[in-house]
Amino acid sequence: MLGTALYMGRAHHDARRLLKRFHRALATTPVAVFGMGPRTLEERDVTGSRNQLRAALAKVPDVEPLTVAVFGGVLRPAEQCFPFNRMPESDARDWEAIRAWAKKIAEMYYERNPVSADSTSSGSVARL
Ligand SMILES: Cc1cc2nc3c(=O)[nH]c(=O)nc-3n(C[C@H](O)[C@H](O)[C@H](O)COP(=O)(O)O)c2cc1C
């Protein structure tokens, strides 16, 4: 799972670096990607952020995520320096949507790689 905040029109520097460095490994790994950022959940804002995330993924075309999601971001001006501390405070996180997505991902991974009920204590993984 790769999650990244979006900043200044791009995925976070660390996420871009990780994709660049590990794209070969990620190309053969089931990976889910999410980005956080839009100030509101209005279609225009979310689409803009989604395009920013897509641009980062487009640089590593061999990585084909199982799913890509964009969630609303949170902005606390008091934690920013000038001039970003002049931006309006906002919190567009939709916890229900985030939890639903996380649950879906867990199910998706489980279906691909089920852990049998009696193997959890030893931590072993059963591949059926
Ligand atoms: C200076 C600045 C630039 C930002 N640029 C974008 C952006 O281009 N696209 C976007 O979707 N969100 C943008 N955001 C919103 C952040 O992605 C959002 O606040 C996110 O929740 C930050 O997560 P973090 O506090 O974990 O870093 C920006 C926020 C700041 C403070």
pLDDT digits (tens, 9 = 90+) for 22-34: 999 999 999 999 9
pTM (predicted TM-score): 0.89
When pLDDT is averaged across residues 72-92 and rounded to a whole number, the result is 95
* pLDDT (0 to 100) of residue 112: 86
* pLDDT (0 to 100) of residue 114: 80
* pLDDT (0 to 100) of residue 126: 35
Cβ of 72 closer than 6 Å to ligand 1, yes or no, is: no
Nearest partner of 33 among 7, 127, 12, judged by Cα? 12
When pLDDT is averaged across residues 17-43 and rounded to a whole number, the result is 97
Cβ of 52 closer than 6 Å to ligand 1, yes or no, is: yes
Fold annotation for 2-94:
60s Ribosomal Protein L30; Chain: A; (3.30.1330)
CA atoms within 13 A on the CB side of 82: 0
User: What does the domain layout of the chain look like in residue ranges?
Assistant: 2-94
Which residue's CA is minimally distant from atom 22 of ligand 1?
5
Q: How far is the centre of ligand 1, averaged over its atoms, from the C-alpha of 79 (Å)? A: 12
Cβ of 35 closer than 6 Å to ligand 1, yes or no, is: no
Among 75, 81, 87, 90, the mutation site with the greatest number of ligand 1 atoms within 8 A of its Cβ is 75
Residue 113, number of CB atoms within 10 A of its CB: 12
